[in-house]
Amino acid sequence: MRTVIAVAACAVLTGAAFAHHGWGSYDAAKPVTVAGPILTSKFENPHATITVRASDKTWTVTLAPTSRMISRGATQKVVAVGNDVSAYGYPSTVEKDEMRAERITVDGKSYEMR
C-alpha cells in the first residue's frame, strides 16, 4: 500500500512539472523572428545550432536533431555559414540571446523544426 501511494505521489508530481514546462525553457508568449546571415553552423546532435547576425544582435538559434533536419529537407547545406535565414521561435528564459526555432525559412522555403 505504501508503494502504491509513493508511485501515485511521484506520478502526480512529475505530471505537474511536465504540464508546466511544455517545450523546455523557452517563452512561447514572446515569439521572435530572427533574420540575417548565418555566422556559424553546427550540424550536431542533440540539436543543430546556428548563430545569426540579426539587426539587433547575434542570436544563437537552436534547431532540431540532425536526423529530423535531414528528413525535413533542412540539410547541412541549407543552414550553411553565409546563407540568409529567417527563424521564427521563442527566446530562452535561461540563456541570453538564445532562441529555439519553431520554423526556419531559407531561400523562400520553410522548414518545420518541431
Cβ neighbours, 10 Å, residue 92 = 17
DSSP 74: -
56 lies in the binding site for other proteins (CB under 8 A): no
CB-wise, 55 or 67, nearer to other proteins?
67
Q: Which of 83, 84, 87, 95 binds other proteins (CB under 8 A)?
A: 95
Compute the distance between CA of residue 65 and CA of residue 48 in angstroms, rounded to an integer: 6
Compute the distance between CA of residue 15 and CA of residue 51 in angstroms, rounded to an integer: 34
Q: Which of 55, 94, 107, 108 binds other proteins (CB under 8 A)?
A: 94
24 lies in the binding site for other proteins (CB under 8 A): yes
What are the grid coordinates assigned to 52, written together? Answer: 545569426
Compute the distance between CA of residue 25 and CA of residue 23 in angstroms, rounded to an integer: 7
13 lies in the binding site for other proteins (CB under 8 A): yes
Residues in contact with other proteins by CB under 8 A are 2-3, 6-7, 10, 13-14, 17-18, 21, 24-25, 42-46, 65-67, 70, 94-95
